[in-house]
Structures are given as structure tokens and as C-alpha cells.
Amino acid sequence: MTAHAARARALMAVALGESPADLVVRGGTVLNVFTAELIQGCDVAVKAGRIAYVGPDAGHVVGPDTEIVEANGQFVVPGLIDGHTHVLETRYSLAELLRYAVPGGTTTIITETGELATVLGRRAVDALLDALVDQPVKVFMTLPPLIGLAPFIEAHAPDLEAYERWLRHPRVLGLGEVYWGPLVRSDRRPLELVAATVAAERRAEGHSAGARGSRLIAYAAAGISSCHEPVTADEARERLRLGLYTMVREGEIRQDLAAMAPLWRDGTDLRRLVLVTDGQGPDRLLRLGYLDHCVRRAIELGLEPARAIQMVTLNVAEHFGRDRDLGAVAPGRCADLLLVPDLRDFRPTLVLSDGRVVARDGTLTVEPRQPSFPRHFYSTLKRPRIVRPADFAVPAPDGGPIRARAIELVTNLVTREEIIELRPVDGYLCADPKADLVKIASLDRGRRTDELFVGFLRGYGLRRGAVATSMTWDSQSVIVIGADDRDMALAACRLLDTQGGVSVCAGGALVAEFEARLGGLVSEAPLEEIASDLRTDRGYVRLRDAAMLGLTADSPSSVPRP
């Protein structure tokens, strides 16, 4: 008999009272996500990690060794599923994520893998597939499309056959976020990747920030199945109408739930609306929680609890075609169960994953597995020679003042082109911190070349010194920002020494740093320590996107907020 058949037989035997359950959760009020009903006085019986019975009385399945959990009228809710996040891409380890996310009720995580893969290529995918299994909860991944803004990313991507092989892996749910621009313009690799994903009956995740009308339609027509980038209710509605599973973010990068309230005030069918974190920062994870915070926030914003919970359970499971295993308290599903005293202040007292208690009263009760990555995953910053101040010098063309393109920082996430006028000094174009104009340089850190590009940045707020970081999106270049060429070289050198994180230098000395050696992206320190390192009295600095943030070197003892 196959494993599937044997499991079915075992579950049926329990349901029929022919053999005892492993565990029974007794006397709860089950949130039925299919019908959006609350079913009072309901027992749930578990066998071999799956739900074997949900009904008014599981007395017939209780044997001498059956463990009984008294729900005492608490709500029994399916474990939450984060449908879009960034594990091992947001400064801390998977173990630390689980330690703080699981007690809030998250029992399934679906993560992007683009950042480590940009640094390490296909080895990252294989290593992650190994790292994500045998954890206290289920962690799935989407494959890194490696379709970047920089052409070199695509050049180093695995071939289509590797993707087709990975797409059959049980932990792979599809293709990670494919930026809309490259796909809509593509007649080759991005299209082939999406097509191979659709042909494999897996999901091609979208990223259509700013797209609308014909271009958004073209993107959907190509086979893209979701978007987690709407920031207004209108943008969300446009995506829902196209059949895209539309993911609303309430995490570190964006907090969009408040803007979405119009969606649940007019009877719109929301079966394709999903709540996600898109990654949670260390400080927010400690202070607010994880996906449980999204649920509390959505309910606070007027969404019915049953609907909010559908958006982090059944809707996500349906999107990824996993609703026969996940996302509901129903026969045959994984026994991922939460006991919650108050649906409106969603804080589980007990979290079961595959029928095992993994958290109780806000604390993880099992130890996440610390995966062991190859040694070279911790030394990913390559330069053929030492970086020197002269590398950041910008020789001026002959003549007087010149006009040049600069990057203007509009918000923490948005830049735009600005045309500036620069007056050469001794034959060089220089930073002008008094006018809030500094240099910004990008160093190729992975491909062992001397490539280095220097430009100008306005609006960053840096008055002296320099900051270098390897924690940059998409390109995974080292970014150095500085008011001073010598400090820029020093910060870059220090970062190359530590092999990742952030280095801040001023006056020829190191003044602050954060080490993140795994892929130059992740620290394996405890989350409390990371958050403390990154927290200052002037607030919280998101080092992941440090290159986009206004770090100043004014307070040499900390890494303050702009």
C-alpha cells in the first residue's frame, strides 16, 4: 500500500472509531474557514499529524494513550500561513524567525529565495531546500527567478532544466516574484520561466508595483498568479479583478492594511485577498509579532475575524494549490491548530504543528533546527585587490561647472533622477555634504572583478564619514555612501574584512558596524541581540535597505535614523 493510501486508511480508522487518536482537542469553537462559521462544542482528533475527525464528540476515538487537550471553549483556528516573506533575507536566521513567529500562530511559511541565490546561485537553492525541512513548522519556497534590474544576475542563473527539476520538489511551490517590467518586455528567459512554472502547475508569483491598465493585464495574461505590491484599495481591486491573488502587506517594508479597508466594506468577494508580512524586521518582530499582528490589525480595521483568518489560511492554501493539506480544520489536513481565547485580540495560547505542540503561551516549546551551510556561504564578498580612496575619485572633464545625473532619495523606498550642477575642485567632482550631496558607489562583490561605479546621491542626510553595506536588494552589490573618499574606502575595506553587514566609518575610524556573514545578508546571532544592535535612541534603522536609508555619521556611537 502506498504511503498516501496507508495514511488515508489510518485516518479513516480513527474517524470510524476503529482505532484511537493520538490527540484530541476537546470542546473548542472551531472556526470553519470554508463556510466562515464558528462551530461551538467541537472536538478535533489527530492521528499521525493529520486531522482525522472534526465534530461534536470525539469520544469514540479516545483510547488509553490518547492525549487530551481541553480547549475550554477557546477558538480552534487553523495555523496561519504567510504566503509571501523573506526568510534568511532579512538580517536574522530562520531559527530566530521561528522562535518569534510560531508562538503567534504561524505554522506555514512560504519564502522567496532571491537574495541568497543572487549571491550564491543554484547552490543557494539546494542549501535552502535542505535548511527548510525538518523544522518545527512547514517552510516552503519559491524559486529565485534571478531576473534582476542588473543584467549580470540573469547571466549567472541556472538553466531551465534546473528549474523544471526544482519545480517537482515537494517544498517548492512555484517561481518567486517576477518583476513586471522584465517580463512584459521579455521574449525569452523570464517568459520561459513563467511558462515552465505554469506547465508544472505551480505558481508564478508576481511583483507588479506601479503597473496598471494594459501593462498589468499583459503581466497577468503571461500566467502570473499573484501580486503583493498594491498599496491602495484601488490597486488591490484592479488586481483582484484580474484574478490575481492579491497580497496585502503589513510588515516591515509596508503597512498597507489601513488603506485596504474600503475593500471589505462593499461586499466584494475577497476569496483572493491574502495578508502577508513580506518580511518582518527584527524590532517589529519582537515588539509586534509576525502574521498574528496582521490578523489583529485587520480585525482592528473592521474586518470580521473569520474573514481575516481566511486571508491567512484557506485563501493562501487555495492560491498555492495546497488546500487539501493546509489552511483548514478539516479531515485529512495537517493538524496545524491554534487555540485562541479571543478572536479579536488574536493571541494563541497553544500552537500545534502536525499535531505536535510547538508553542505555548507565547513561547516556542521546541528547538528549531540550525541548518549548517557550507563554509563558503560565509565568505561571499570578493574583491581582487584592496579598495583605495582613489577608487572613489571622480575626475572632472575639462572646463567649468558641469551638469550631471544624480540619485535623489524621495522616500526610504523611492528614488528619482535629479540633474545637478557640479563645480570641479582640483580637477575632481566632489561630494558637497552641506548641500546634502554625497557620493554613492556600487562594488561588484561576487564576481571577482574590479567593477566599481561612483555616482552622486542627494537627500541622504550624511554630513561626514561613510557607510558601506552588503545588505542590498536585488543586485547584492556592496553599496558605499560617503561624504569622504577616505572613509568610503575604509568602510568598504572593513566590510570586506567582516564579510557582510554594515560598516560605518568617520574621521578615518570605524564608528559602528553590524555583522551579517551568511551570504553577507544574515546574522546568526539571537534576534534580541540583532534588534538591540540595530535599535538606537533615535529609532529603528532598517539595515537591509541601508543603501536607501539616511545614515548619518554624526553620532559615532550608533547607527541612527535620518
Please report, as ranges, the residues that interact with a copy of itself according to CB under 8 A.
1-2, 4-5, 7-9, 11-12, 15-17, 32, 34-37, 39, 50-55, 60, 184, 187-188, 191-192, 194-196, 198-199, 201, 213-215, 217-223, 225, 237, 240-243, 267-269, 271-272, 310, 318, 321, 323-324, 328, 330-333
Residue closest to 453 by CA, chosen among 480, 429, 435: 480
Between residues 160 and 413, which has the closer beta carbon with respect to a copy of itself? 160
Do the beta carbons of residue 44 and residue 67 sit within 8 Å? Answer: no
Give the shortest CB-314-to-a copy of itself separation in angstroms: 9
- Closest distance to a copy of itself from the beta carbon of 212 (Å): 10
Strand partners, 505: 466, 510
Nearer to a copy of itself, 332 or 362 (CB): 332
By CB neighbour count within 10 A (0-12 exposed, 13-18 middle, 19+ buried), where does 347 fall?
middle
From the DSSP assignment, how many helices (H) and strands (E) are in the chain?
17, 29
Closer of 189 and 561 to a copy of itself (Cβ): 189
DSSP string, 347-414: --SEEEETTEEEEETTEE-SPPP-----GGGG-----SS---GGGG-EEPPSSS-EEEEEEEE-SSS-
Q: At what angle do helices 94-101 and 527-534 cross, to 10 degrees?
A: 100
* Partners of 513 in the β-ladder: 503
Q: Which is nearer to a copy of itself, 56 or 507 (CB)?
A: 56
40: left (phi over 0), alpha (psi -120 to 50) or beta: beta
Rank residues 237 and 458 by Cβ distance to a copy of itself and give the closer one: 237
Helix residue ranges, H only, 72-150: 94-101, 114-120, 122-132
Which lies closer to a copy of itself via its Cβ, residue 80 or residue 483? 80
Angstrom distances, CA of residue 493 to CA of 267, 285, 393, 465: 57, 32, 16, 14
Burial of residue 558, with CB atoms counted within 10 A of its CB: 0-12 exposed, 13-18 middle, 19 or more buried: middle
Min dist. Cβ of residue 365 to a copy of itself (A): 27
Which SS3 state, helix, strand or coil, does residue 535 take? strand
Q: Which is nearer to a copy of itself, 268 or 349 (CB)?
A: 268
CB count within 10 Å of CB 12 equals: 15
Question: Judged by CB, which is closer to a copy of itself: 170, or 395?
Answer: 170
Q: In what order do the strands lie in the sheet with 452-458?
A: 415-422, 402-409, 452-458, 437-443, 478-482, 466-469, 501-506, 509-515
Select from 470, 530, 477 the least CA-distant residue to 498.
470
* Closest CB to a copy of itself among residues 333, 464: 333
Q: Supply the minimum distance, in Å, between the C-beta of residue 47 and a copy of itself.
A: 9
To the nearest whole angstrom, how small is the minimum distance from the Cβ of residue 96 to a copy of itself?
Answer: 34
Smaller CB separation from a copy of itself, 242 or 394: 242
Instruction: Give the shortest CB-67-to-a copy of itself separation in angstroms.
Output: 19
Contacts of 555 (CB under 8 A, 6+ apart): 536, 538
> What's CA 163's distance to the chain center, in Å?
21
User: Is 158 or 331 the residue whose CB approaches a copy of itself more closely?
Assistant: 331
CB of 465 to a copy of itself, least distance (A): 47
Say if residues 240 and 268 touch (Cβ distance below 8 Å): yes
* Least distance to a copy of itself, CB of residue 354, Å: 15
Least distance from a copy of itself to the Cβ atom of residue 144, Å: 19
* CB of 39 vs a copy of itself, minimal distance in Å: 7
CB 52 to a copy of itself: min, Å: 6
Pick 35 or 411: Cβ nearer a copy of itself: 35
What's the min distance (Å) between Cβ of 435 and a copy of itself?
Answer: 42
Q: How far is the CB of 283 from a copy of itself (least distance, A)?
A: 36
Q: To the nearest whole angstrom, how small is the minimum distance from the Cβ of residue 238 to a copy of itself?
A: 10
| Minimum CB distance to a copy of itself smaller for 241 or for 287 | 241
Pairing label, strands 363-364, 356-360 = antiparallel
Grid cell 487553523 — which residue?
78
Which residue number, 151 or 267, has a Cβ lying nearer to a copy of itself?
A: 267
Q: Which three cell numbers stand for residue 234?
A: 484601488
Return all residues near 524 (Cβ < 8 A) that are at least 6 apart: 93, 370, 517, 518
Cell numbers representing residue 524 in the block: 546568526
Residue 306 in contact with residue 38, Cβ under 8 Å?
yes
